Amino acid sequence: MDYLVAVLLPQLLHGLVFGAALGLLALGLTVIFGLLGVMNFAHGELYMLGAYAGIAVVGVTHSFWTALIVAPLAVGAIGAVTEVVTLRPLYRREPLYGLILTFGLALVFREAVRQIWGGDMRRIQPPVTGSTPLLGMVYPNYRLFLLAASSILLLAIWLFFTKTRAGILVRAAVQDAEMLDGLGVNVPRVFTLTFAGSAALAALAGLLLAPIFTVYPQMGVEMILLAFIVVILGGMGSMGGSVVAALVIGLAQSLLTLWMNPQRVAIAIFALMIVVLIVRPRGFFGREGVLE
């Protein structure tokens, strides 16, 4: 019982907290892939931009909560402009063009941030401090808040895609954009808004994780690798798959650290991705044919 509470429970919570936040990032990535057919290499930089936009807003307003609203909107707007100006002209070309373009965008965003804010690590103070005693162990309040916030967001996104007309339109566009176009829907606008929404979601994840991971220009690169693994495991383009895979990765990572050094766990997770790519390229929940 002691072992369960003192050792396993905190690890399970770590896994859920990290998995849920990772889910937010991966969800945007998988939606963009499903809809636009683009593997967005700049997604990690949108996550990073969220954290820096948060620093800027906190600097002016001294309020993390205001930043939590303003920063994702600002990054969403950057996402919309990026989609219209750079990605849209490439939709009819080979997917490789989009890949190279987003790779370039990632470099542009990262270096721009370095120019503006410098390369030093920055901290954002968590808006919620202190710890809560939980079944005999102690857990930081901010991480509990993070778990709650991510869960609510994931639920809201699920409701959006299943219950609202806009959400159903996006899903329809993922299935068959040409047919939707034929039915009179403004598909380019759906594309732009979806890209902006995914960017805002990435920014939100960046800002929510900033008080734990700190803020630096490279932060997106480290996260995007994990997000790619999540998307591949969950099945490229599968939203539910991404959320499940994110939680599985989060939990696996935190539980495996009980028996091996976290650096080796990272290797194990990459190895798992390679195996899945070879044996079952569509991932756990992916549609047949996306990568086969």
Partner 1 sequence: MKRLTWGFTVLVALAALVWAGAPAVSQPKVVKIGDLGSKVGVFEGYGKYQTWGVQMAVEELNAKGGVLGHKIEVVSEDDETKPAPAVRKAEKLILQDDVKLLVGAVSSGATLAVMDVTKKHKTIHWNSVSCAEFMRTTKFHKYYFSNQPDSRMQANGLAKYIVDKMGKKVYIFYTDYAMGQSDGRQFKTALEKLGGEVVGVAGAPLDTKDFSPWFGAINQSNPDVLFVAFAGTDSLRLMTQLHSFGMTKKYKMAGIDCFLLQQDLASIAEPMEGFVQLNHFSPYNPDPNMQAYNARFKKKFGTDANIAAGSYDAVLFWAAAVEKAKSFDPDKVAEAHEGMCVDNTHIGRQCIRKEDHQVVMDMHLYQVKGGKNLPIARIAGSDSIGEAMVGKDPVEGFTWEIKKK
Give me the residues that bind partner 1 (CB under 8 A), please. Answer: 3, 6-7, 10-11, 14, 120-121, 131, 133, 137-140, 142, 212-214, 253-255, 257-259, 261-263, 265
Closest separation in Å from C-beta 217 to partner 1? 13
Decide: residue 262, CB within 10 A, 0-12 exposed, 13-18 middle, 19+ buried. exposed
Alpha helices for the chain (secondary structure H): 2-3, 9-36, 43-61, 64-82, 95-117, 141-163, 165-182, 187-213, 219-234, 239-256, 262-279
Q: Which CB atom, from 137 or from 248, has the smaller least distance to partner 1?
A: 137
Closest separation in Å from C-beta 286 to partner 1? 28
Residues contacting 25, CB < 8 A, separation 6+: 43, 47, 201, 202, 205, 223, 224, 227
Q: Which CB atom, from 11 or from 86, has the smaller least distance to partner 1?
A: 11
- What is the spatial distance between Cα 74 and Cα 60, in angstroms, rounded to a whole number? 15
Residues contacting 86, CB < 8 A, separation 6+: 101, 105
Structure tokens at 84: 């219209």
Q: Which CB atom, from 123 or from 189, has the smaller least distance to partner 1?
A: 123
Closest separation in Å from C-beta 141 to partner 1? 8
C-beta of residue 124 within 8 angstroms of C-beta of residue 215: yes
CA distances from 284 to 45, 65, 210, 224 (A): 27, 36, 30, 20
CA 161 to chain centre: 17
Closest separation in Å from C-beta 262 to partner 1? 4
Q: Which CB atom, from 113 or from 174, has the smaller least distance to partner 1?
A: 113
Structure tokens at 74: 């600002």
Closest separation in Å from C-beta 116 to partner 1? 17
Q: Which CB atom, from 126 or from 281, has the smaller least distance to partner 1?
A: 126
Structure tokens at 8: 């396993």
Within 10 angstroms of residue 156's Cβ, the number of other Cβ atoms is 10
Q: Which CB atom, from 69 or from 258, has the smaller least distance to partner 1?
A: 258
Q: Which CB atom, from 131 or from 164, has the smaller least distance to partner 1?
A: 131
Closest separation in Å from C-beta 270 to partner 1? 16
Closest separation in Å from C-beta 250 to partner 1? 11
